[in-house]
Amino acid sequence: MALIRSYRLTPWLPLLIVGASLGYAVTVVTRLPWWTLFPIAALWLTLGLKLRWGAPQRERYKPVWPWSLVPLSLLGIYVYLADSFGNVDLGAVFFHLQAGMTDHGGGGKMVIAALYVLTMLALLISITWMARRDPRWRLTERFFALALLAINPLLYGLGQRSAAIVTDDGEWLDRRYVAPPTAMRSDDPPNLLLMYLESLERTYSSDIFGDAYADLEALGERGWVFEGVRQMDNTGWTMAGMIASQCGVPLMPAGLLHDTQFEPLTQVVPGVNCLGDVLAGQGYRLSYLGGASSQFAGKGLFYNGHQFQTVKGKEDWLAKLDDQQYVNSWGVYDDTLYSETEREIRRLENEDDGPWAVVNLSLAGHSPHGFPSQTCIDRQGDFDGQDILFSVKCSAWQARDLIERLEAEGLLDNTLVVLQSDHLTMRVPVWDQLTALDRDNTLIMLGDGLEPRRIRRNATMLDVFPTLLEAMGMTLDEHRAGLGVSLLGDRSTLTETHGLNVLNERLREETALQHRLWEGLAPQRQNATPSPAEQVVETPSDAPLEVENVSR
């Protein structure tokens, strides 16, 4: 009891817990280095002891529950998400909750989450202790609670999404949607190898990251390199990046406006035609191969639902492994995946039953530290478990090695090879350096007749879809498909016309496109719907912008 009484009269421990939590939160949501949490905590502790917080001269104990407990808990959730992923995307949270988290590879994050919970409990206990013993805290923490609610980006994002229900114009994006084509220009359509390189953004090509990106630079010298492919909202995680680049739309979760919001998804964006639907209509044989589970985040649902005949993931590779222990927390390593990719392409070539398209998704570059294969460790030296640039270099080299092996065997004749990042990387050890740069996604195309060329446009992943279709020889009306505009034409992208901030604002207000994605039905409108080829303008002042061409 003496120890308890001593603790009640000694406010330094709760002050230290609050100060350390404050310092940590500041370092997470800003670009300040991690060690600045110590001077912030020290300053808080010094100020608290000087002002006798928690130990006023006339202490009056009152068993109250602080108003700020719930706001603090909500802010703690935001800090955890920001610390784990960098930029917090509510769309990703909603989508993964509905699409399923089966076989996720974030086991290591469970320990971190548990530590966060314990820290939050200590913080809430400290705040309660202070409020019960110091009338100054009881008074001010009520205003503090309101301030916490006001500054929490998580609540701000939820408020914006809720406001979409009553927005004046929830059809701005949907009016600009153009269905993809169904006709090929060529009598000899090319095969397609589409390689998604997990989190391998083009920003890694900066000199400050050494030669981590060098192998992709070498590949780019042989074909088309696209610069300026930026990341709009709802395209910043793997499924969102794939859907944006294969369907030309941002991945708006089924969400609060959907009738089955509390049920698991059985389809993924069934209301729009995507790359698989277009190619299947041309007689392509389609395969998706991933290192992670195809059940995670609806990948299997998406590819099966959009006419891929072969869909394989971790669960299909495990039985084939000679060493059952040669796996990581997400799935199989890239050397295993690329061996299976090579085997699949060889099978499709031997069948000689029309053109084929193979899509694969690597794992080596996955945040926070990556998963380099043993093949890379044998080549690059020991991996310390922390160096993301080691993993980036591994991912780039293995992609180049696979392409060169396939070329040497003649398996890429009349084949368009596309290498792209699925999204910008999430929080990694070089996060501060990355976020200080002008970030963009990787997009490289190789193939017969593609002369080396660098194309710099102000674009998003939505524009990859029509660009890919045109590169394969399809004719697009005004170079458009989905919400994207081909980067091979002279028409302005939505980003070039309106700016990325405007697109993100319009996305937060959009409801009609959401219904299109998940119900497959365009909403009823009083006015006639414009034809797909017609460009819609909102005001006369928009007209010259909407038809602006980009000279090359």
User: Which contiguous run of DSSP H or E holds residue 98?
Assistant: helix 90-99
pLDDT of res. 108: 58
As a whole number of angstroms, the distance between CA 132 and CA 153 comes to: 29
Buried b (16+ CB within 10 A) or exposed e, 23-62: bbbebbbeeeeeeebeebbeebbeebeeeebbbeeeeeee
Q: What percent of the chain has pLDDT over 70?
A: 81
Locate 202 and state its tokens. 């083009």
Distances (CA, A) of 169 to 73, 376, 415, 507, 511: 34, 51, 43, 11, 9
Q: Among residues 311, 267, 270, which one has the least CA distance to residue 292? A: 311
As a whole number of angstroms, the distance between CA 462 and CA 471 comes to: 15
Residue 465's contacts (CB-CB under 8 Å, 6 or more residues apart) are: 180, 244, 245, 246, 247, 248, 274, 275, 481, 482, 484
What amino acid is encoded at 176 in this protein? R
Residue written as token pair 């093949």: 375
Residue 320: count other Cβ atoms within 10 Å of its Cβ: 11
541: pLDDT strictly greater than 70: no
Locate 494 and state its tokens. 């939505």
User: Cβ(357)–Cβ(192) under 8 Å?
Assistant: yes
As a whole number of angstroms, the distance between CA 462 and CA 177 comes to: 11
Question: What's the start-to-end Cα distance of the chain, in Å?
Answer: 80
Distances (CA, A) of 327 to 103, 107, 210, 254, 361: 13, 14, 28, 33, 16
Distances (CA, A) of 388 to 156, 295, 426: 32, 26, 11
The more confidently predicted of residues 301 and 536 is: 301
Q: How would residue 519 be classed by pLDDT, with cut points 50, 70 and 90?
A: confident
Q: How would residue 337 be classed by pLDDT, with cut points 50, 70 and 90?
A: very high
pLDDT of res. 249: 97
pLDDT of res. 7: 44
pLDDT of res. 49: 86
pLDDT of res. 104: 54
As a whole number of angstroms, the distance between CA 493 and CA 34 comes to: 39
Percentages (nearest 5) of helix, strand, coil residues in the chain: 50, 10, 40
Distances (CA, A) of 232 to 239, 458, 510: 14, 12, 14
Could you report the per-residue pLDDT of 14-71, keeping only the tens digit for each?
A: 888 888 888 888 888 777 777 888 999 899 888 888 888 877 767 677 888 988 888 8
User: Which contiguous run of DSSP H or E holds residue 419?
Assistant: strand 415-421
Residue 132's contacts (CB-CB under 8 Å, 6 or more residues apart) are: 61, 62, 63, 64, 138
Collapsed DSSP state (helix, strand, coil) of residue 431: helix
The more confidently predicted of residues 487 and 104 is: 487
Could you report the per-residue pLDDT of 104-161, keeping only the tens digit for each?
A: 555 556 677 788 788 889 889 988 988 888 888 888 888 888 888 887 776 765 555 5
Name the pairing type of β-strands 224-230 and 453-460.
parallel
Q: Average pLDDT in the 317-327 region?
A: 89
Collapsed DSSP state (helix, strand, coil) of residue 414: coil
Locate 519 and state its tokens. 């119900």
Mean predicted lDDT score pLDDT of the chain:
84
Structural Rg of the chain based on CA atoms? 26
As a whole number of angstroms, the distance between CA 89 and CA 85 comes to: 9
**For 125, which DSSP code?**
H
Maximum distance among all alpha carbons in the chain?
A: 90
User: Cβ(335)–Cβ(374) under 8 Å?
Assistant: yes
Q: pTM of this prediction?
A: 0.79
